[in-house]
Amino acid sequence: MALTDFFDQCRIGGKAIYIVVDHHKALAAWAIERRKLASAPYLLTIDHHTDTDEAFRGYVCMSAYEDSSVDEDALAAELIAAIDWSSDESLTEAIGKLRHDEHIHAATKSGTLNASFSIQLSDQSGYVEPNENGIYVVPHKCAIGCLKKVYDDECVVHHALEIIESPYLDDQLRRIGDITQGLGLPNIESLPYILDIDLDAFHSIKAVNPDDASTFRRLIRGALAITIATEPEWVKEVWEDEHNEPSADQLLTAVLGHIEEACKL
Ligand SMILES: [Zn+2]
């Protein structure tokens, strides 16, 4: 199996865009980008979920269930150590054993990515957990200006509407700036980064058509490459738009439209 079997690819304004259905297959695209560089790039990801599960946990649990002599930690460590981003064969093997939400850990542990910063909607704890694996979930409380003490059903809706609005992204980028500064690094936009977008970050058609897309488009322009996970089942699962049917295709068209606009400038 070739790595290109894991994704559809196009180029917009000279930028490589990789489209996967299942998010974990983006590891193939990240490895291809890694090979073009002297050192591992960073990941800036926009997602509903945090996607911070440990690599191969699902596979390892299943193996231990089928054979009680399996040492789960040892097997997970062995599988992680075997990931070689320069080898198509190794990546094909790894992707076959990864489950959803395990790809970022697989990438940072294998040196495919240096570190990752997740702008996401599912963890509202509001602070960054120190992470030795180079995976940083960017904190938020809710939409900009929301003063509610408890994140309620209304928050779920107004927060998701802001996911790529400029004031919200600017705030998230400031928080990422605090993290990178703490790591002795410059701002994420001055680092080589891949922009990764999971379409389940968009809970409505309005969310993907923000009033101000300037920051989102700047992030697109600055990215080395862009990976998009369509995750149609998750799009359905988190959909909150009563005026439109959930459609990963429609969201994908809108995101590609932003990329085209961004790359024109
Ligand atoms: Zn709120």
HEC string for the chain? CCHHHHCEEEEECCEEEEEECCHHHHHHHHHHHHHCCCCCCEEEEEECCCCCCCCCHHHHHHHHHHCCCCCHHHHHHHHHHCCCCCCHHHHHHHHHHCCCCCHHHHHHHCCCCCCEEEEECCCCCCCCCCCCCCEEECCCCCCCCCCCCCCCHHHHHHHHCCCCCHHHHHHHHHHHHHHHHHCCCCCHHHCCEEEEEEHHHCCCHHHHCCCCCHHHHHHHHHCCEEEEECCHHHHHHHCCCCCCCCCHHHHHHHHHHHHHHHHHC
Least confident of 69-83, 112-126, 198-212, 218-232: 112-126
CA distance 52 to 127: 15
Q: Which pLDDT score is estimated for 53? A: 84
Q: Residue 11's pLDDT is what?
A: 96
pLDDT of the residue at 127 = 58
User: Is residue 126 scored above 60 in pLDDT?
Assistant: no
Q: What share of the chain has pLDDT > 90, as a percent?
A: 80
Q: Is the four-CA dihedral 27, 24, 135, 207 of positive or negative sign?
A: positive
- Ligand 1 centroid to residue 160 C-alpha, Å: 10
What's the Cα-to-Cα distance from 200 to each of 89, 120, 190, 223, 259, rounded to whole Å? 30, 10, 27, 20, 18
* Residue 152, in any domain of the structure: yes
Query: Which residues crowd ion ligand 1, with CB under 5 Å?
Result: 142, 146, 148, 155
What is the distance in A from the centroid of ligand 1 to the CA of 264? 35
CA-nearest of 34, 42, 10, 7 to 22 is 7
Q: How far is the CA of 37 from the centre of ligand 1 (A)?
A: 41
**Domain range spanning residue 182?**
3-53+105-264
**Does residue 224 register a pLDDT over 60?**
yes
Average of per-residue pLDDT across 155-162:
93
Q: If pLDDT is split at 50, 70 and 90, which confidence band does 129 have?
A: low
* Residue found by looking up tokens 């992680």 in the block: 80
Report the separation in Å between the CA atom of 129 and the middle of ligand 1, taken as the mean of its atom positions. Answer: 22
Taking the centre of ligand 1 as the mean of its atom positions, its distance from the CA of residue 144, in whole angstroms, is: 8
Residue 101, pLDDT score: 87
According to the model, what pLDDT value does residue 154 have? 92
pLDDT tens figures, 49-101:
887 888 899 998 998 899 889 899 999 999 999 999 999 999 999 999 999 88
Share of the chain above pLDDT 70, in %: 97
- Does 92 fall in a domain? no
50 CA to centre of ligand 1 in angstroms? 19
Q: How does the average pLDDT of the chain come out, rounded?
A: 93
- Residue 174 Cα, ligand 1 centroid: separation in angstroms? 20
- Ligand 1 centroid to Cα of residue 100, in Å, is 28
Q: How many domains does the chain have?
A: 1
Distance CA 65, CA 160 (A): 38
39 part of a folded domain: yes
174 within a domain of the structure (yes/no) = yes
Q: Could you tell me the distance, in angstroms and rounded to a whole number, from the CA of residue 176 to the centre of ligand 1?
A: 21
Global confidence as pTM: 0.94
| 171 in any annotated domain | yes
What is the Å distance from ligand 1's center to 11 Cα? Answer: 37
Contact 34, 18 (CB under 8 A): no
Tell how far the Cα of 241 is from the centroid of ligand 1, in angstroms.
Answer: 17
Whether residue 85 is contained in a domain is answered as no
Specify if 100 maps to a domain: no
The answer to the question of residue 224 being in a domain is yes
Least confident of 35-44, 136-145, 175-184, 195-204: 136-145
- If you average pLDDT over residues 204-228, what whole number do you get? 98
Task: Count the neighbouring beta carbons within 10 Å of the beta carbon of residue 98.
Answer: 24
Q: How far is the CA of 170 from the centre of ligand 1 (A)?
A: 18
Tell me the pLDDT tens digit for each residue of 19-33.
999 999 999 999 999
